Amino acid sequence: MPGGTIDRRRFNRLLAALLAGASLSGVHRALAATAAQRKLPLIVLDAGHGGIDPGAIGVIGTYEKNIALPTVLELARRLEATRRFRVQLTRRDDEFIPLAGRVARARAVNADLFLSVHADALPRRTERGASVYTLSEKASDREAALLAASENRADLVAGIKMSRDPEVNGILFDLARRQTNNLSIRFAQDVVGELGRHVTMLTNSHRSAGFAVLKAPDIPSALVEIGCLSNRTEERDLRQPPYRAVVARSLARSIGHYFDTIGA
């Protein structure tokens, strides 16, 4: 397990095989089969807001939704050009999608990574810079408790056959969730490093919060605020395609690094 983690598919597959009572050699066979059948990693990109929800509104009236979408389209183009990934978008145009629907889309296609792209508005107009969020441990625990209490837990973690023993299920669910959190944090830290080489970052640029779009228990997820529309200079930057291209290039690099480190 390089770096103390294994990739999510392998992890889920391993748990499924163990749950099914497979011998160790059976587990090895299961893992080998996964590697042979492996498709390209699937990334779901989520352009924040849309439709009736403009998101943050800049000093000169720029809508966040109109900054997020072209950034995501540019990022998708760059990722697809590598021929290393499959990419799906939660929205391709000015469409309103409820937050839960965004996560549901990512889970429905069994995404390997979820990245939501936003632009911020802060109370102090002098503040500027990008930041990256992962799900806070507190929010994650609360979410897990809620999910654990629900009836439909059986299909919550892709690839894991739930046991009849609720205690075993709880342990497996928790393991998968922790693994997801660790991978999310690893990815977010790389985004901070890469983006920070090219654009201004907020202080404490890796933050955690209870964002609804980060709550998939089995998909490593991050949300990036690519800048502040409340800052006049940054709003101007964010409106420029070359600036967004720099952001998209950095994000694409981080995504590449992420899949390098998990061996996908």
CB nearer to Zn ion: pick between 160 and 247: 247
In the numeric block, the tokens 């809508």 are attached to: 63
CB nearer to Zn ion: pick between 50 and 55: 55
CB nearer to Zn ion: pick between 220 and 227: 227
**Residues 236, 234: Cα–Cα separation, whole Å:** 5
Question: Nearest residue to Zn ion, using CB?
Answer: 118
Q: How far is the CB of 64 from Zn ion (least distance, A)?
A: 5
**Sign of the CA dihedral with 2 first, then 248, 68, and 101 last:** negative
Q: How far is the CB of 119 from Zn ion (least distance, A)?
A: 7
Max CA-CA distance within the chain?
A: 64
Which whole-number Å values give the CA distances from 205 to 134, 196, 255, in the listed order?
Answer: 11, 9, 18
CB nearer to Zn ion: pick between 44 and 176: 44
Q: How far is the CB of 130 from Zn ion (least distance, A)?
A: 13
**Residues 226, 112: Cα–Cα separation, whole Å:** 22
Instruction: Return the number of other C-beta atoms located less than 10 Å from residue 110's C-beta.
Output: 16
CB nearer to Zn ion: pick between 32 and 209: 209
- Using alpha carbons only, give the angle 84, 224, 86 rounded to the nearest 5 degrees: 20
* Residue type (1 letter), 225: E
Residues in the chain: 264
Residues found near Zn ion in the complex (CB under 5 A):
48, 55, 118
Q: How far is the CB of 209 from Zn ion (least distance, A)?
A: 12
CB nearer to Zn ion: pick between 55 and 58: 55
Q: How far is the CB of 55 from Zn ion (least distance, A)?
A: 4
Q: How far is the CB of 44 from Zn ion (least distance, A)?
A: 17
**What is the DSSP track for 212-264?**
GGG--TTS-EEEEEEEETTSHHHHHHHT-HHHHHHHHHHHHHHHHHHHHHTT-
